[in-house]
Amino acid sequence: MTDSVSRLPRRSALRLLGGAVAVVAAAAGGFAPASRAHARSGRGQGSGARVEGLLARLTLDEKISLLHGATDPRPLGQAGYVPGVARLGIPPLRLADGPAGVRVTRHATALPAPVLLASAFDPDLARRYGQVIGREGRALGQDVLLSPMVNLIRTPYAGRNFETFSEDPLLSAHLVAAEIEGIQGEGLIATVKHFALNNQERDRTSVDVRVDERTLHETELRGFEAAVAVGTGAVMGAYNKVNGTFACENEALLTGVLRERWGFTGWVMTDWSAAHSTRKALMAGLDMEMPDGTHFGTALASAVRDGGVREQYVDRAVRRVLTVMDRFGLLDGTVPQRPDRDAKAGAAVAREVAEAGATLLRNAHGTLPLTGGGSVAVIGPTGARPLVSGGGSAHVVPEHADSPLDAIRSRAARVTYALGEDAFGKPVPASALDPAFDTEAQHVDAGRTWTCDGTLTVTDAEAGDDWTFVLHYSGTPPLRPKALLDGEELFPLVPGWDEYFMGGLLTHAADGLSVRRKTWKPARGTHRLSITAPGGDTGQLFRLRRITAATRAQDVAEAVRAARAARDVVLFAYEDAIEGQDRTTIALPGNQERLIEAVTAANPRTTVVLNTSSATSMPWLERTGAVLQMYYPGQEGAAATAAVLFGDRDPGGRLTQSFPADDDHHPVAGDPRRYPGVDGTEQYTEGVHVGHRWYDAEDVPPLFPFGHGLSYTSFAYEDPDAHWTADGLDVAFTVRNTGRRDGVAVPQVYAGPAPDLRLDQPVRVLAGYRRLALRAGEQRRVTVRVEPRTLSSWDPKVRDWVLGTGPRTLWIGASSRDPRLRTSVRVGG
Ligand code: BGC
């Protein structure tokens, strides 16, 4: 390999197996409460002896059965299963997603998306979020959680930006560590993912990410390192390649960084079907293949029997798995009884997180908070149907989620509703079809097949329009109705994720029917349309609908009428992200930009609530009264949104990613080598200038900067004072609530480059922050501790961290672009 990562120095095994690891583990915490004492006492002889004793008694086949996924004889709908070895008292492991709640077939608390949690800038809240998932995972029969995800937000297009925390390495590191402590404190084993550089969905299973060693350590790895430092039980390898080698068989990462540099003692599993080899992967440091044994099943057993793989490497992997199981009390029967699910406590945390992370981006002319006395027009599909969570493996189905419309109705005197943007279509009129049939409610009986061969007529007025055909159907693939238009299949089956993942909003109609769409530019005249719908074993219901220029115009006109008639408008705009695919633009999808323009023209007291995954461009921004970023707010999102809109809660969130002005002004714009990659390879040439650091380095104004978010009150920052101590930097300042309402301030400390380092450094890095609730008129003195690591750079020459000594500028401000105080301090004495 020619990559720089592979050349990382190996630290002495002795040192790591002795002092360093003991220190990490002791500081780790995160054991199940009942096993804390055990873990403390068992860390030495006892626990190691138990694992070694088991290893000596396990047969080769039994060992191998612990290293790959298998079919669960009693599945609970979770993503993975590893059978135990009953004769030796080794229990099976059930592994469930995911980042916003426990994903099994039973209902679970749908927490707000992690990006919304992160927006609260509150590690303590992240710990409680983890506790909810930890307890619920155990209650729902799980042993391992496939979360948290800590890949950085590098591109606004990445399909899973909602599932992770931030573009900032420090904030991500704090949050992932706290959440893992919360999860593991309840006795559920956490899995930090996806190691490493799975920063996009496009080509995720093949893209080769090229990155230099310094960038890797200073950006993406920081969160993983923090997860290891608090004792994450497991790490999930990413799908992509890193510097030429698949992450799941990348020795430089799995052994060089994870084990030798960081002292990780848990196990590494693949992402789902991300293994590519047997010997290479095992030797590189992979311990477990999921969800099956394609490479780590019989292939591994044969390799050992043939002498191609030494059994000690199998033992090494098994030892890692068993050591974590033992740490969680799974091998000696000290694991606590599974608790009951506490749905009420989960709901309370879900609500608190959604309120704490609600990020008010704009508030002109006192548009917010709303008063309950006036009339409110609610507009937009996610106003009536809550967008609870994003799509893919992080999708969680709760018992219940209110609609924002109902929550607003319970607060305001007069509330009207208009759809405004239709994602599910209107019936195709029978007059356009020959033979005419009811496209709205076709029931096909079990064992029958419904067919229709006819024509669809497009009028002169409709020709050249943009149509979207929308198919709603109840059958599961391959029972999807087949529709051929002029001989071409409208809704072809695409095997893979497309068929597998549930979306947040778009893939299912309100009544649960699956939904697929196809755009079409019709020519005038008649077109051949033939439909075949199989009834299967249970029968099938399907509808064929369409969205046209005329239906769009009707929806907008209805919304404009509602907006005109009301004092205030709350317009819910959405973007429905799903794992496995990236966006192609940061503009709102569909007709929503035009809808916002028309509605704001009719009523400037319009608040746009964004139920989106990540950054959005807002060419309509100046026309609005207010913009509230709620992402995917979980099952309690409606109540939380209403509480913030009506001012019961101060919007406590701040952006954890920069919002670019448009598709041409962000860190990966205009250079396909940076994104999405060229010829399968992608270069992280922005180097250490990830996220807000790039906007500063290139002097590009973002639409909204990292750290931005308004309160309903105002704050003054005063009297900065900074001291270097042996343990780091203490930055003190006073924050005063200068307004008439109680509110939440999130002052942020940024540090400038170190003059003593001859390295290309960021203009400023986030060095610390503090979330503060202050009553009207209250002031508080705050001291933010900045760790030496935050003031250090990775020096590729010495292949280690070096402290950035010398005089350094510090800013204390309300965002990366809103410095309120400036001071300087000599770092390093
Ligand atoms: C995702 C993982 C997830 C796994 C199991 C994969 O497609 O990338 O994040 O944990 O599926 O559902």
Instruction: Tell me which of 271, 273, 396 to substitute to probe ligand 1's pocket, judged by most ligand atoms within 8 Å of the beta carbon.
Output: 271
Atom of ligand 1 nearest to the CA of 97: 10
Can you tell me the distance from the alpha carbon of 288 to that of 69, in angstroms, rounded to the nearest whole number? 8
Q: Which protein residue has the closest C-alpha to ligand 1 atom 3?
A: 393
Sort strands 819-827 and 806-813 into parallel, antiparallel or unpaired.
antiparallel
Q: Is it the case that residue 79 has pLDDT exceeding 90?
A: yes
Q: How confident is the model at residue 47 (pLDDT cuts 50, 70, 90)?
A: low
Length of the chain: 829
Q: Is it the case that residue 37 has pLDDT exceeding 60?
A: no
pLDDT digits (tens, 9 = 90+) for 671-717: 999 999 999 999 999 999 999 999 999 999 999 999 999 999 999 99
Query: CB of 450 within 8 A of CB of 520?
Result: no
For ligand 1, whether the C-beta of 163 sits within 6 Å is no
- Give every CB contact of residue 673 below 8 A, 6+ residues apart in sequence: 681, 682, 683, 685
Between these two residues, 41 and 253, which has the higher pLDDT value?
A: 253
Q: How confident is the model at residue 493 (pLDDT cuts 50, 70, 90)?
A: confident
For ligand 1, whether the C-beta of 421 sits within 6 Å is no
Quick one: which of 535, 132, 112, 590 has its CA closest to 358?
112
Q: What is the pLDDT of residue 497?
A: 58
Express as a percent the part of the chain with pLDDT over 90.
86
Q: Is it the case that residue 500 has pLDDT exceeding 80?
A: no
Q: Which protein residue has the closest C-alpha to ligand 1 atom 7?
A: 272
Q: What is the pLDDT of residue 496?
A: 63
Q: Is it the case that residue 16 has pLDDT exceeding 70?
A: no
Quick one: which of 395, 385, 536, 531 has its CA closest to 96?
395
Q: How confident is the model at residue 43 (pLDDT cuts 50, 70, 90)?
A: very low
For ligand 1, whether the C-beta of 591 sits within 6 Å is no
Q: Is it the case that residue 40 has pLDDT exceeding 60?
A: no
For ligand 1, whether the C-beta of 97 sits within 6 Å is yes
**This model's pTM is above 0.75:** yes
561: helix, strand or coil: helix
Q: What is the pLDDT of residue 42?
A: 28
pLDDT digits (tens, 9 = 90+) for 301-354: 999 999 999 999 999 999 999 999 999 999 987 877 899 999 999 999 999 999
Q: 521 to each of 462, 465, 469, how far by Cα in Å? A: 9, 6, 11
Atom of ligand 1 nearest to the CA of 393: 12
Express as a percent the part of the chain with pLDDT over 70.
93
Place of tokens 């496009």: 202
Quick one: which of 343, 356, 418 has its CA closest to 637?
356
For ligand 1, whether the C-beta of 201 sits within 6 Å is no
Sort strands 482-485 and 442-444 into parallel, antiparallel or unpaired.
unpaired
Sort strands 568-574 and 606-611 into parallel, antiparallel or unpaired.
parallel
Atom of ligand 1 nearest to the CA of 146: 10
Q: How confident is the model at residue 816 (pLDDT cuts 50, 70, 90)?
A: very high
Mean pLDDT of the region 506-526: 91
- Give every CB contact of residue 23 below 8 A, 6+ residues apart in sequence: none
Q: What is the pLDDT of residue 498?
A: 60
Q: How confident is the model at residue 14 (pLDDT cuts 50, 70, 90)?
A: very low
- What string of DSSP letters covers 454-473? EEEEE-TTTTT--EEEEEEE
Q: How confident is the model at residue 478 (pLDDT cuts 50, 70, 90)?
A: confident
772-774-779-785 Cα dihedral, nearest 10 degrees? -10
Q: Is it the case that residue 12 has pLDDT exceeding 60?
A: no
CB atoms within 10 A of CB 85: 18
Q: What is the pLDDT of residue 163?
A: 98
Mean pLDDT of the region 725-733: 94
776: helix, strand or coil: coil
What is the whole-number distance in angstroms between the Cα of residue 638 and the centre of ligand 1? 28
Backbone angles phi, psi at 791, to 5 degrees: -100, 15
Can you tell me the distance from the alpha carbon of 770 to that of 749, in angstroms, rounded to the nearest whole number? 9
Atom of ligand 1 nearest to the CA of 204: 8
Can you tell me the distance from the alpha carbon of 763 to that of 772, in angstroms, rounded to the nearest whole number? 26
Can you tell me the distance from the alpha carbon of 801 to that of 789, in angstroms, rounded to the nearest whole number? 8
Mean pLDDT of the region 403-427: 96
List of domains in the chain = 11-332 (3.20.20.300), 344-423+551-655 (3.40.50.1700), 426-547 (2.60.120.380), 715-827 (2.60.40.10)
For ligand 1, whether the C-beta of 393 sits within 6 Å is yes
718-737-367-115 Cα dihedral, nearest 10 degrees? 80
Between these two residues, 505 and 52, which has the higher pLDDT value?
A: 52
**283: β partners:** none
Q: Is it the case that residue 429 has pLDDT exceeding 80?
A: yes
Active site residues: 271
**Run of H or E residues at 323:** helix 311-327
Can you tell me the distance from the alpha carbon of 327 to that of 189, in angstroms, rounded to the nearest whole number? 10
* Mean pLDDT, all residues of the chain: 92
For ligand 1, whether the C-beta of 104 sits within 6 Å is no
What is the whole-number distance in angstroms between the Cα of residue 272 and the centre of ligand 1? 6
Q: Is it the case that residue 442 has pLDDT exceeding 90?
A: no
pLDDT digits (tens, 9 = 90+) for 571-622: 999 999 989 999 999 999 999 999 999 999 999 999 999 999 999 999 999 9
Mean pLDDT of the region 432-458: 91
Q: What is the pLDDT of residue 501?
A: 65
Can you tell me the distance from the alpha carbon of 606 to that of 596, in angstroms, rounded to the nearest whole number? 9
User: Phi-psi region for residue 231, left (φ > 0), alpha (ψ -120 to 50) or beta?
Assistant: left
| The token pair that represents 50 in the structure block | 């138990």
